[in-house]
Structure 1
């Protein structure tokens, strides 16, 4: 395997596990070891995110909101943007209906003796509390830029809308991929994945047996909803199963409707093929003469 500049991140991921003399057999074992180490690092990071609180660098309410919801790594990125807010000044340019246009001037440090002023346009919708900056930092990195934070703090916005709190940076969500069994579970003792797999087998068997009749379906559905209400906590994904039961008549008529539809075999749809249509194709003179002779023979025999 050759090394290219585009794969430097992947090479850094396997540093200390693989070398140029690594055989294919060792590659498989070391691959599991590398993934196992990554899972351990993620578990340690999650533990610190839940049990250790990073101190705020400002008194903004927006920072406290990120501090409570985001992981430590993303909180530090937000704090880097907040530190730069103190070097930004805002100016209202115009107001068109509910949208206000601001110009944020940032003092960018070029070297120790020189700073450069860079201007950015920020658009704020007061009705939906939506802010957009021309630097597109949120669209590219998923982190609010210093210019948007400057406008929000200037307008005394204390609570951010949910669209600016991305789920992929939150620490209070259960990641579904953590419940999937893998080859390195035996190395880290991932009992959660084993319990999850065991419960999935039981629930699949229960659904296949009890979904045949309406009464059994209703009983199982009610028990599932009751279990969810008892076990759901503040750190759950807050996405409950569907709480509406379908009509019994609809469930009872599903099998009969499917049987009727399966017996009525319809003709396939007629679609246009590629190329010219047969009626518009050119006919040779030989074919024309042959067709004319056949027509005359039919008329004479008739």
Structure 2
């Protein structure tokens, strides 16, 4: 049994070396024109620099091309994939079949990761895309632990699971959700509409604040809580899940560095001795609760919910 890879989303090139020191094995980078909900915007030059830095330390970089593409961008995919190939990226993350088909044409040896944007909820879907050329499936956030373990048992591809961070609840290509609520005068309202990285949708009835932001790919509404499963990793570790992801969207570099250290310690402890992990996991969770922003409670997401919804 091998250790799962710890994938982290940096905000800038300056995060690469500190995150490696904290325990990251791989990174997801890219630019919003081709990738969805990135923690930071990386120009081509910055993508290349991130790859060179990571490779110098024996780590990997995956380039996000997981947007859903309309006709006007399809012709751009060839050029970007050629760049990604020449930059020696370790894989491309995709959701749209247009990326897979274009990669077969211009970068046939590029490793492909099928992403959660097209909703991986069963092993048949994972294996379907595996037989089309994907080497990894990034599972949907809305499935429970039993389903994850069962998928891993039957999967013909690597499996990646989000273990820490916020989840996307809604995405629209349009950018008029905020205008709709403001016009209607609903109980939910947009706060700080002009600050693209500091907007919230308020639900007074439930007492929730949903981060909302708009970019080139439209409107994104995120979960009011952050997933944290640091004290419940054993089932996925035993099942051999290949990759754990820490999502840094709308977080500080300092926060993600601390979270990475904690998960690195949890994984290493388990592989040294499962009992050592069991003894330490509550302490690790308590540490993450201490550094967690007060307006974003930690919870276990859908990992232990019986219903997928």
- TM-score, length-normalised on structure 2? 0.23
Name the larger-Rg structure. 1
Structure-1-length-normalised TM-score: 0.24
